[in-house]
Amino acid sequence: MTPVVRTDERGVATLALDSPGNRNALSAALVAALADALAACGEDPAVRAVVLTHTGNTFSAGADLRQPPDPGAFVALLRQVVELPRPVVARVTGHVRAGGLGLVGACDIAVAGPEATFAFSEVRIGVAPAVISMPLLPRLDPRAAARHYLTGERFGAAEAARGGLLTEAAQDVDEALAPILDGLRRASPEALAETKRLLTAKVLETFDRDTAALTALSARLFASAGAREGMTAFLERRDPAWVL
């Protein structure tokens, strides 16, 4: 069973993360399946736009600590979303943690409902939001980024929209997305691709400049004693040793 399910309607391909056993955590299998699905959408002339969404009440719980993806593969996936010659729209109606926020940040448009919650939980397991910073920091308000990166606290859709993570916080996500998708369907495919290139140029400059350094930082932190304690504590459902 694939962890990513595709459906199509009037030029919009919807890719739903569907790995309920681990709350759509970013396992090696899910990252590979999503990369394949995005590539197929990018090569399909019938696809005008891609909606990235989820089944269940969690968009993504972040990296799968039991079956983590290769860091290079995850970075490549984030860049693939940014570079895809189709607009990618995040539809979020559940919880988003850690690496899942990188996926949302890589999308061109992101709408979330009142059930959605967000947290940069990396600092609470002894690592840092390193590689996801490449699509996120060019788009986030610096003060909002500082607060949420450093505290790891949970915040809602309205705060996410104020900080630049979301395009819109909506009471009804599908109602909010309807005019957006209608606009994308009315646009020239070639014009959409070129306009997306204009919008993502600064983000791609960040990938070109920082991929090697941030991938190395992520690998170093995940191999550290602090991360071992943090991840063990998370899996054992206890506080790590550094909590006061």
pLDDT in tens, 60-104: 999 998 888 888 999 999 999 999 999 999 999 999 999 999 999
Residue 177 reports pLDDT greater than 90: yes
Q: Which two tokens stand for residue 175?
A: 């109602």
Q: What ranges in the chain are assigned the alpha helix state H?
A: 28-43, 71-83, 99-106, 133-136, 142-151, 157-162, 173-186, 189-222, 225-235
Compute the chain's Rg from CA coordinates: 17
Portion of the chain with pLDDT greater than 90, in percent: 96
Choose among 31, 46, 26, 33: nearest CA to 1: 33
Structure tokens at 77: 């996936």
pLDDT confidence of residue 151: 98
Mean pLDDT of the chain: 97
pLDDT at 65: 86
Average pLDDT over residues 105-120: 98
Task: Give the residue extent of every domain in the chain.
Answer: 1-173+188-244
pLDDT of residue 149: 98
Residues paired with residue 97 on neighbouring β-strands, in sequence order: 119
163-172 pLDDT tens trace = 999 999 999 9
Among 43, 115, 122, 229, the active-site one is 122
Residue range 114-165, pLDDT digits in tens: 999 999 999 999 999 999 999 999 999 999 999 999 999 999 999 999 999 9
214-218 own/partner pairs: CB under 8 Å, 24+ apart: 214/75, 214/130, 214/131, 214/133, 214/134, 215/71, 215/72, 215/75, 215/130, 215/131, 217/128, 217/130, 218/71, 218/127, 218/128, 218/130, 218/131
Do residues 34 and 15 touch, judged by C-beta distance below 8 A? yes
CA triple 82-85-89, angle to 5 deg? 60
DSSP state letters, 138-184:
TTS-HHHHHHHHHH---EEHHHHHHTTS-SEE-SSHHHHHHHHHHHH
- Fold for domain 1-173+188-244? 2-enoyl-CoA Hydratase; Chain A, domain 1 (3.90.226)
175 is catalytic: no
Nearest alpha carbon to residue 160 among 151, 172, 171, 148: 148
CA 223 to chain centre: 23
